[in-house]
Structure 1
Amino acid sequence: MHTDTMLQQAAQVSHYVQRLLQSRPERVEQVSPALLHPLSRTQLEHWWGPTDPQDDTQLAQALRQLRQQAMLALITRDVAGLADLDEVVQFVSQLADFVVQTAYRFHYQALVSTHGEPMGEESGEPQALSIVGMGKLGGEELNVSSDIDLIFIYPEDGETQGPRRLGNHEFFTRLGQRLIRSLHDVTADGFVFRVDMRLRPHGESGPLVASHAMLENYLITQGREWERYAWMKARVITGESAGLMSLVRPFVYRKYLDYGAYAAIRDLHAQIRREVSRRDKEDDIKLGPGGIREIEFIAQIFQLIRGGRAPRLQLRGTRAALREIATLNLLPAEAVEELLSAYDFLRRLEHRLQYLDDQQTQRLPTSEAAQAMVTQAMRLPDYASLLQQLEQHRQAVTRRFEQVFIAPVEGRDHPLDPIWLEVDNPEQTLPRLAELGFAEPATVLNLLAQLKSGNRYQSLPENCRRRLDWLVPPLLAAAARQPQPDKTLGRLLHLLEVISRRESYLALLVEHPQALQKLATLYAASPWVSEYLTRHPILLDELLDVRVLYTPPERSALASELAARLAEHPGDTEQLMNVLRDVHHTQVFRLVAQDLAGMHTVEALGDYLSDLADLLLAACIPLCWQDIRQRHCEAPRFAVVGYGKLGGKELGYATDLDLIFLYDDPHPDASENYARLAKRLSSWLSTPTPSGYVYELDLRLRPNGESGLLVSTVEAFTEYQMQHAWIWEHQALTRARYITGDADIGQQFEQVKQAVLARPRETASLRQAVLDMRDKMHHAHPPHAGEFDVKHDEGGLIDVEFCVQYLVLAHAARYPELTRNSGNIALLKAAGEYGLIPPAIADAARDAYRQLRHQQHVLRLGGQPHNRVPGPLRQAEREAVLALWQAVFEQTR
């Protein structure tokens, strides 16, 4: 398309373009070369190139003429369909940046020439004004006739060093005033940008400029909720950025999941709706129902709630934030696509409304002529089609907005409110509790009364107490629907007491009643789960999306997620440790929820939990190694070997990790550095932080036990295993495997393990050594009359493990496949196939082992502190294991 035709098309849909071309026909030649290529800052610099203003008047005129050239080119490209939304909003934002920076340099130099350079009284360093772009300017998504929201911040107080000295505050105030006039004042050439300074600390009543210290104090003591999402888009256009944003970031993004933000945004939205209604602005495509602001609110709520814990959400642009929200599965992909499509349509329509007369408007036109111009600019057949598409998008936005900001239970009457209100009136409340199905109404009432009269409740901040009051009645209802309502309610009330001062967690449950019901179901199903969740209440967030909660883990996806989250905190040890803990707790909680739903066999669960441990250990090694300052090589020649439950891939929910550490490195510093690495690894996993800990480690299986070195060379480990290890240490080796670290060391370990386990052994002495060790363990855990300990008693899990270990050590010389770490169930099957034990006995023992592990698992979830069940309960499994013992050791028990 010829550039003259493009300009004619633009003039047909814009009175503003008509005026520009009529007032200065030479502009056709000025802008035509730029029309066929995407517009960028480079073009602005080219247009500005020969400009050399000598005073304020010349500067103001040159800036306004630059803006006119830029807008003429942009409108023409947009109407011709050559510029997408990205180009439009980015170029307008680049124009704003350019004129602000240009005006800043001009006026700064002018003031310095009179007063000298401003210096910091503490640092002694020259001071620059940080001009912060807020709103759409900060997000680089400025509309074509927008105000620019600015805040002026300078680092330190002090004074200038020239002959006519000024305090820094006065210097930067004058600078700010001059800059605003250069952009904002209307002259014969119009204006550049209207400047809005009302977002500064204390608003219109506050000083024009503020120091870092003043800003920090304001945000801490007086910063309001709406200012958090204003500062979310803040971007420094001139001056120092890192120090300033380090003050702002903790104010905007909380370290916890901030569900209290729902109420703040909902209140702001209600105010906007009231204003729209009062001023009859329902046709406002920005502030009206289903408009641009509602899309922005949807993006911002997820950023405010989760941005502190997911730095990937700390984005300024609305569309970028929405795409990240979809990536994190916080909203369904189809919902985000609807919102992005609506945003694109609404923003393009907004620009065409503003192209009409260069007015800052988002209201649909009332005249038929204007309607026809907007329709043509939107490239639609008629205005009715435009309205139809607009209505479809607005309905979609409204639907998604209401899904996200669904009204909570707070403030609504609940049928069980009288119980909580009349907790001191047993005559009224006891019959109602009995009707609900509580077995011991008096005990339940006592629990409620203790909570309400306790010091913790009485001293709660008003917001927390109000939310807790809203929660108790639906909590009662949710508990009453469970099989054991009394126990369930007791566990739920304990959680409520623990989180009572954490307004965000209370807000989560208030905002999401469905999470409360799911919570009650889990607390009813397992006291272990209730204790785990009460200990880590951040996991309450997992209850919000059952799609994710009940999706089985996929190792590669989990590894990618873990790597991405760790990459967000380079060098920050505390945050990296918390990420490890959060990922571990989240995955364990998801697995236990899936387990209670019957989704996994006990073998599959052991695999999942062992894979999780493998991943976390693998992630820790390079992080801990980078933390060692005097490391002698970039990649450590160091490996982790797992024993016991981890080695056998039979890990449980709260099992310790039995580990040893090996290295193969001749460097003189290797021993010391790898010992540091092992200690650091242990600390990263075991040290309690506010997020808890990951695993307890047991390192006693290393050569020479607790008296031995924390790390061993492969050579020393080999020599120990071949020459000095006890039979019980070879038994332990049958369940050992390379976990992570240097793959060559892992291969060497597997070769040593194969060689040790496959050595020919004299079976009689081997049998006696194994039996002696089993007797020692049995005496350490004497039986309890009438009960069967599924782990320690005769016919229990340890008997199976000893049988398998003996079979491996006795027969691996003839059957090397027995050294494969395939688990006790698979090894029993192999022993039956090789004829080492009768196949029928092997099969029965396999089933028994599986059932006993499941029973142990059930006991753990049931909160039992031991592994005991009533004697007759597992008699069949016990007999199967005793038959295995007889077949292996040729003795009865």
Structure 2
Amino acid sequence: MKAMINREAERRGKYLDVKLGTGGIREIEFTAQVFQLMRGGRIPELRGRSLLPTLDALLAQQLLTAEEFEVLQPAYYFLRRTENRLQMWNDEQTHSLPTTLERQACLASSMGFADWASFEAELNRHQQAVAQIFQRVFALETQESQPMPEHPAIQALLHSRLYNTLTDTGRSRLNRLLPALLDACNALADPEQALERCLRIVQKIAPRSGYIAMLADHPNALEQFVRLVSDSLWITSQLTDHPILLDQLLDSRQLYTPLDREQLGAALRLELERIDQGDTEQVMERLRQFKQAQVLRVAAADITGVLPLMKVSDQLTWIAEAVLEETQRHVWETMTAQTGVPTYIAAAPEYPPIPSPSPARGEGSKIEEAGFAIIAYGKLGGLELGYGSDLDIIFLHDSHGTAQQTNGKKTLENAVFYARFAQKIIHTLTTFTPAGRLYETDTRLRPSGASGLLVTSLNAFRTYQQEKAWVWEHQALLRARVITGSERLRAQFEQVRHEILCQSRDRAELRKQVIAMRQKMWDSMASKDARVFNLKKDPGGVTDIEFIVQFLILAHAHEYPELVRWSDNIRQLDSLQVAGVLPTDTAEALADAYRTLRDRIHELSLQEQEAVVDAGQFMREREVVRAAWVGLVEQ
């Protein structure tokens, strides 16, 4: 179709046909329709038959920029009015501009211009602006495909069984892509690695020739594809396993600008509103597609240096939070439609009164709706997620008193409801579907570990933390925070967390237990090979810094309660420095070492490599950490 437009434009004169010529009506229509064809399956607003509402939808979806919209909409009005005036002349179906002076003057006058020259200047302005957008969207070819390169890997593909099974169209598109692909790879520092990774994906997507055509027809998308794949084995694997992510490469403005926390939540809710909420399988697929697309955007911004380390972790954490929120909402709505919501008759309050967002039902009644919360631990709790991180989570509810049951047609005891509710959340997150798995989850940090109840009441959680929890569990609680839950339950959890962490402790006994736990971890998980350094687990690594911070906070929080405000390591270090527990130079040195080591862990993760380097690397950081460990913990 593009080639036909080009031939028509050449035959009729580049700008003489307001419909089929360069910058004409057809180019505006095709610009909108290509997005309708690619995204209409997932975005119902793009399924309309009329152009102008479609342009509005493209702007709302950020598939067109405001600047592009301000070009295309006025141009469409102008070109359509011009077409109407042309067809009024002899009531004929024509789109060609007049060539006689008389008709040129009449057309200009009918369009509100004083003369032909001023009308023609305005027409050309619109056509050239439309043509520029059309060129960017379709990347029209200006020359024939290059000769096929004599490269062993490419020649092997051309003589493979895969190539011979392709349709004529598929082979033609692949033949067009390969020379451009090799040129793009040759421009990089390691062209052979880049080509090997790219061809791995090309072989996977070759039968779906639309993806091949997308890369062949969009030089910018091809350049981004080659760069990202070359820089990250993780991205290579993602695109190989989920080719739908290639759509993200089309728009560099969105690819390198990850959404903030609020935007992520809004975007995911909008995605889910477009599908049948009763179709859990489809909801699970859309959650996975959303997560993969957003993480790819983070990785792209990370690789290109747009996002620093701490922002990368923030982004990955926000994506997980948005997914958890919508997963909980979907499961809640699905279950409560049958069972109603959990309720209870309140007994005497065990906590200072906290206003409930849901008033009691029935005048004078003590019936309350029970709350539910997902508590994040570990990297999720500490806002430090990596690309392959698990989600360490536990589930709490605040049901207590009597008559603890749901209020729907199918009545369940609250404990049964919450157990099923948590199981369904985990199922939604961890089940493999055609789009993969959302997240691995670990719930072993709940009271009593793997042998304990999957969902615990807040009262039982508080009792366990006060009477039975080990020191390492209080260390873990330092990195805990609420992800989802009612305001009442959030406040009550924070109250419990504050009480537990700010207890006065025997410092000698605390030191003994922290050292013993760290030694146990060194013995079981540290490198046994002296030639390598595990950035996380070996002495002088990330875990040592975390243990130093946790020991100091647990030792001093009864004096300085503000130390337990934050759950992330960097702000905890800042708090220790502000409170005077840590000297400024020591706090800054540990923070710098922490960021440096974690930055390298991110880089290795993008190459699908373990967090292990040569033992000679990061000696300065390791010495800083070891000195702090000896001076602050072992003293």
Q: Do these two structures clear the TM 0.5 threshold for a shared fold by scoring above it?
A: yes
CA positional deviation for 1:734:
0.8
Distance 2:34 2:96 in 1: 26
- Aligned match for 2:386, one of 643, 648, 652: 652
1:820 equivalent in alignment to 2:551:
no
Cα pair 1:758 1:809 within 8 Å, conserved? yes
What amino acid does structure 1 have at the position aligned with 2:575?
Answer: A
- In 1, the alpha carbon distance for the partners of 2:370 and 2:92 equals 64
Cα shift readout 1:646-691 (whole Å, capped 9, x = no counterpart): 1111111110010011112354132222223222222222222222
1:605 aligns with 2:303: no
Task: Work out the CA distance in 2 between the residues paired with 1:749 and 1:696.
Answer: 24
Seen in structure 2, the aligned counterparts of structure 1 residues 361 and 834 have a Cα distance that, compared at 3 Å, is closer
1:632 aligns with 2:368: no
Per-residue Cα deviation, 1:72-96 (whole angstroms, up to 9, x for no partner): xxxxxxxxxxxxxxxxxxxxxxxxx
Question: What is the match of residue 439 of structure 1?
Answer: none
Match of 2:29 among 274, 291, 296: 296
Identity of aligned residues (%): 42
Q: Which of 531, 551, 565 does residue 806 from structure 1 map onto?
A: 551
Superposed displacement of residue 268, structure 1: 5.3
Q: Do the aligned partners of residues 811 and 409 (structure 1) sit closer, same or farther apart at CA in structure 2, a change above 3 Å counting?
A: farther
**What CA distance in whole angstroms lies between the structure 2 residues aligned with 1:855 and 1:282?**
55
Say if 1:827 and 1:468 are closer, same or farther in 2 by CA, change over 3 A. same
Alignment counterpart, residue 325 of structure 2, candidates 618, 626, 634? 618
Which residue number corresponds to residue 65 of structure 2?
A: 332
Aligned length: 596
- Alignment match of 2:617 (pick from 873, 880, 890): 873
1:353 positional shift: 4.5
Residue in structure 2 matching 1:590, options 297, 304, 315 = 297
**Displacement of 1:385 after TM fit?**
4.6
SS at match of 1:641: strand
CA contact (8 A) 1:837 1:887 kept: no
Q: Conserved in 2, the CA contact under 8 Å of 1:837 and 1:888?
A: no
Which residue, out of 269, 275, 297, partners 1:569?
275
Q: Whose radius of gyration is greater, 1 or 2?
A: 1
Give the unaligned 5+ runs of structure 1: 1-264, 421-444
Q: Which amino acid aligns with 2:388?
A: A
Give yes or no for contact 1:527–1:862 (8 Å, CA) kept in 2.
Answer: yes
1:357-385 deviations in Å (ceiling 9; x for gaps): 76655556788887777666544445555
Equivalent residue number for residue 306 of structure 1? 39
- Answer yes or no: is 1:779 the counterpart of 2:515: no
User: 1:717-768 CA distances to partner (integer Å, 9 max, x unpaired)?
Assistant: 1222222222221111111001122221111111111111111222222222
| Amino acid aligned to 1:655 | S
Equivalent residue runs for 1:379-418 within 5 Å: 379-382=112-115, 385-408=118-141, 411-414=144-147, 417-418=148-149
Query: Counterpart amino acid of 2:44?
Result: P
Unaligned runs of 5+ in 2: 343-368, 406-411
The corresponding residue for 1:419 is 150
CA deviations 1:265-319 (Å, max 9, x no partner) are: 3255357658x74xx9986543444432332222112211221233221121101
Aligned pair partner of 1:518 in 224, 241, 250: 224
Matches within 5 A, 1:657-676: 657-665=391-399, 667-668=404-405, 669=412, 670-676=414-420
Q: Corresponding residue for 2:363? A: none
Amino acid at match of 2:63: L
SS in 2 for 1:788: strand
Q: CA deviation at 1:510?
A: 0.5
Question: Compared with structure 1, are the counterparts of its residues 358 and 579 closer, same or farther at alpha carbon in structure 2 (3 Å cutoff)?
Answer: same
- The residue aligned with 1:796 is 541
- The question of 1:266 aligning with 2:2 is answered yes
Letter in 2 for 1:697: T
Q: Given that residues 410 and 467 in structure 1 are in contact (C-alpha distance below 8 angstroms), is that contact kept between their aligned partners in structure 2?
A: no
Which amino acid in the other structure matches residue 266 of structure 2?
Answer: S
Residue 863 of structure 1, aligned match among 600, 608, 616 = 608
Q: Offset of 1:823 from its aligned partner?
A: 2.1
In structure 2, what is the Cα distance between the partners aligned to 1:672 and 1:338? 58
Query: Contact between 1:312 and 1:568, CA under 8 Å: does it hold in 2?
Result: no
**Equivalent of 1:542, from 243, 248, 253?**
248
Q: Mean Cα displacement is larger for which, 749-758 or 282-291?
A: 282-291
Secondary structure, counterpart of 2:447 in structure 1: coil
SS in 2 for 1:852: helix
Instruction: Specify the alignment match of 1:476 in structure 2.
Output: 182
Structure 2: how far apart are the matches of 1:284 and 1:690?
Answer: 47
The C-alpha deviation readout for 1:135-171, integer Å capped at 9, x for no partner, is xxxxxxxxxxxxxxxxxxxxxxxxxxxxxxxxxxxxx
CA distance change for structure 1 residues 292 and 478 in 2, over 3 Å: closer, same or farther?
A: closer
Q: CA deviation at 1:820?
A: 1.4
Q: What's the secondary structure of 1:872's corresponding residue?
A: coil
C-alpha distance in 2 between matches for 1:877 and 1:388: 65
Give SS of 1:801's match.
helix
1:410·1:470 contact (CA, 8 Å) conserved in 2?
Answer: no
Q: Which amino acid aligns with 1:815?
A: Y
Instruction: Name the structure 1 match of 2:576.
Output: 831
Give the whole-Å Cα distance in 2 for the aligned partners of 1:370 and 1:476. 53
Q: Which moved more, 1:844-853 or 1:450-459?
A: 450-459
Measured at CA, do residues 282 and 867 of structure 1 come closer, stay the same or move farther in structure 2, by a change above 3 Å? closer
Query: What corresponds to 1:554 in structure 2?
Result: 260
Separation in 1, partners of 2:617, 2:297: 30
Q: Would the alpha carbon gap of residues 370 and 465 (structure 1) be closer, same or farther in structure 2, given more than 3 Å must change? A: closer
For 1:406, give the aligned amino acid.
Answer: A
- Amino acid of the structure 1 residue aligned with 2:265: A
3-state SS of 1:419 partner: coil
For the residue of structure 1 that corresponds to 2:616, the secondary structure is helix
Report the equivalent of 1:691: 435
SS at match of 2:436: coil
Alpha carbons 2:478, 2:501 under 8 Å: kept: yes
Partner Cα distance (1:494, 1:351) in 2:
52
Q: Give the Cα separation in 2 of the matches to 1:289 and 1:791.
A: 59
Residues 418-444 of structure 1, C-alpha deviations (whole Å, 9 max, x = no match): 405xxxxxxxxxxxxxxxxxxxxxxxx
Cα separation, 2, equivalents of 1:371 and 1:546: 42
Code of the residue aligned with 1:665 in structure 2: it is: S
Which residue pairs with 1:22 in the alignment? none
Name the aligned partner's letter for residue 150 of structure 2: I
- Amino acid in structure 2 at the alignment position of 1:691: A
3-state SS of the aligned residue for 2:297?
helix
- Kept in 1, the 8 Å contact 2:15–2:23? The answer is no
Cα deviation for residue 791 of structure 1 reads 0.9
Distance 1:454 1:339 in 2: 45
TM-fit CA distance, 1:699: 1.1
Q: Is the 8 A contact 1:602 1:850 kept in 2?
A: yes
Q: Distance in 1 between matches of 2:500 and 2:138?
A: 63
How many angstroms apart in 1 are the aligned matches of 2:398 and 2:209? 52
Q: Structure 1's 364 and 680: CA in aligned 2 closer, same or farther, altered over 3 A?
A: same
Q: Secondary structure at the match of 2:617?
A: helix
Which region of structure 1 is more displaced relative to structure 2, 670-679 or 727-736? 670-679
Q: What is the rounded CA distance, in whole Å, between the counterparts of 2:568 and 2:537 in structure 1?
A: 19
CA distance in 1 between partners of 2:586 and 2:21 (Å): 75
Higher-RCO chain (CA-CA 8 Å, sequence separation at least 6): 2
Per-residue deviation, 1:400: 3.4
2: distance between equivalents of 1:827 and 1:739? 19
